[in-house]
Structure 1
Amino acid sequence: MGRHSLSRERRRSPAVLAAVLAPAAVFFAVAGDVGPRGARVVDQGDGPCCLEIVAATAPAVVSRMPGSEAGIGLGGGQFAAASRWRVDTRSRALPSGVAPEQGLQVKTILVARSISALFPEIHEIGGVRADALRWHPNGLALDVMIPDPGSADGIALGNQIVGYVLLNASRFGIQDVIWRGVYYTPEGARSTGADHYDHVHITTTGGGYPTGEEIYLR
């Protein structure tokens, strides 16, 4: 191979490597369970419906150097081969709601954002605060404040939120809900002395503290 050919190969190599390494960077940025810097998807729905991997044999990129040949690329068993990712989480992503999220765990944040998205009548949700019990201080509990809680509309709204949370108990990691003297769990309900007539108290199993790279999905 002549000097001119080698020179052309050297000039092409950075562009070729960039063309492959850039998609690989996107791969790690969105695939939280396969990349060290990926997003952690906290999904209320039935599985990651909007993440699609189409597997294929990964091409190797060969950089030719004088007297040697080095293969660089997605092959060699370094990580799972993929020819295409379709990431369509934007339409399902839940924005921050009315609850202050500092100190909340991921399942608690998912509940708070979901309630804010579905019930715009709610203007205040309490989260972390000092308490003799560990739920609020540890980011495991929410107080969903009900507007005009003694009215027929207020009671109906509280009932709707209780029903919604319990319907999604496994997805939300619900431990219990308290509203108007009734203690609800995914297994059933019983009367209790705890009043909670002006807010719906929700306790989750937590799921750990966020890293800042979570994506909360509807």
Structure 2
Amino acid sequence: MPVGRHSATTQRRRRWSAPAAALAVPAAALLSAGADALPRAEVVDSPACCAELIAAGPTDAAAANYQFQPSTPQAMLASRALRRSPDAALPAGVAPESGLQVKTILAARAVSAMFPEIQNIGGVRPDALRWHPDGLAIDVMIPNYSSDEGIQLGNLIASYALQNADRFGLDDVIWRQTYYPAHGTPHPMADRGSDTANHYNHVHIATVGGGYPHGHEVYIS
């Protein structure tokens, strides 16, 4: 995993490019195409002793596994990214980070920074599956989720997570009753009986974790 402890006094930074495209994610219009994975994002050395840097890095090729139609919002994420400074440290966002693992924290902070309209992100909670109890998943709650604007916002967040699958250590995204593995073929899910259980009111983002934080981590956009 690209997570490490560094105590070098010199600084080595790589300029990351902004996300190149956003993909709309209508549940009924899914196509799949293969893609070669890009190398993992580098961990940037810290200028200060003992800070642990978890880099968000550039947009990777994982989203090429998902060619969604239509693709009209392609400029939306790029426009949002241009308003952020490259290599900027990500502050804590709206997600409660207690119990989350480092890749999940990185995803939560990046989503908060990219989508300031999001005011509620769920984290650790009891569940029969391991994702939330083990700090591997967040639920990004979508305001007015049944409106056109809410659906578009959820589409953008799902697309953003998939485009950054390698950086976030992404395992999967679930949105609007559709399961999107980080590297694989998306598929509809069975009806579980409610908007919450069917993931209509939130985007579920699950990661491989990366271990629990030690308190010296710096999360880089």
- Shorter-normalised TM-score: what interval? 0.5 to 0.7
Please state how far the C-alpha of 1:188 moved relative to its aligned partner.
Answer: 2.6
Asked whether the 8 Å contact 1:32–1:39 carries over to 2, the reply is: no
SS in 2 for 1:92: coil
SS in 2 for 1:115: helix
Cα distance per residue 1:34-75 (max 9 Å; x no partner):
9xx6111100115xxxxxxxxxxxxxxxxxxxxxxxxxxxxx
Task: Name 1:157's counterpart in structure 2.
Answer: 153
Cα distance per residue 1:68-92 (max 9 Å; x no partner):
xxxxxxxxxxxxxxxxxxxxx9961
Q: 1:181 & 1:120 partners in 2: Cα distance?
A: 24
Does residue 142 of structure 1 match 2:154? no
Q: TM-score, normalised by structure 2?
A: 0.63
Task: Name 2:185's counterpart in structure 1.
Answer: 188
Letter in 2 for 1:104: L
Q: 2:55 & 2:112 partners in 1: Cα distance?
A: 16
- Higher radius of gyration, 1 or 2: 1
SS in 1 for 2:186: strand
CA gap of 1:183–1:90, structure 2 versus 1, over 3 A, is closer
Task: Name 2:211's counterpart in structure 1.
Answer: 208
CA gap of 1:213–1:160, structure 2 versus 1, over 3 A, is same
Higher strand share: 1
Asked whether the 8 Å contact 2:44–2:54 carries over to 1, the reply is: no
SS in 2 for 1:153: helix
Please state how far the C-alpha of 1:32 moved relative to its aligned partner.
Answer: 9.0
CA gap of 1:33–1:156, structure 2 versus 1, over 3 A, is closer
Q: 2:168 & 2:143 partners in 1: Cα distance?
A: 24
Task: Name 1:74's counterpart in structure 2.
Answer: none
Letter in 2 for 1:212: G
Task: Name 1:42's counterpart in structure 2.
Answer: 54
Q: 2:185 & 2:157 partners in 1: Cα distance?
A: 16
Q: 2:57 & 2:131 partners in 1: Cα distance?
A: 25
Please state how far the C-alpha of 1:204 moved relative to its aligned partner.
Answer: 0.2
Asked which structure has the greater RCO (Cα within 8 Å, sep 6+), the reply is: 2
Share of identical aligned residues, percent? 56
CA gap of 1:174–1:26, structure 2 versus 1, over 3 A, is closer
Task: Name 2:220's counterpart in structure 1.
Answer: 217
SS in 2 for 1:112: helix
CA gap of 1:26–1:167, structure 2 versus 1, over 3 A, is closer
Does residue 114 of structure 1 match 2:110? yes
Structural RMSD (CA)? 2.7
Select 2:95's aligned residue among 75, 91, 99: 99
Q: Which runs of 5+ in 1 are unaligned?
A: 1-24, 47-88
SS in 2 for 1:100: coil
Q: TM-score, normalised by structure 1?
A: 0.63
Task: Name 2:125's counterpart in structure 1.
Answer: 129
Higher helix share: 1
Q: 1:160 & 1:39 partners in 2: Cα distance?
A: 32
Please state how far the C-alpha of 1:33 moved relative to its aligned partner.
Answer: 7.3
Aligned length: 151
SS in 2 for 1:139: coil
Runs (4+) of structure 1 exceeding 3 A deviation are: 30-34
SS in 2 for 1:157: helix
Please state how far the C-alpha of 1:185 moved relative to its aligned partner.
Answer: 1.2
SS in 2 for 1:144: strand
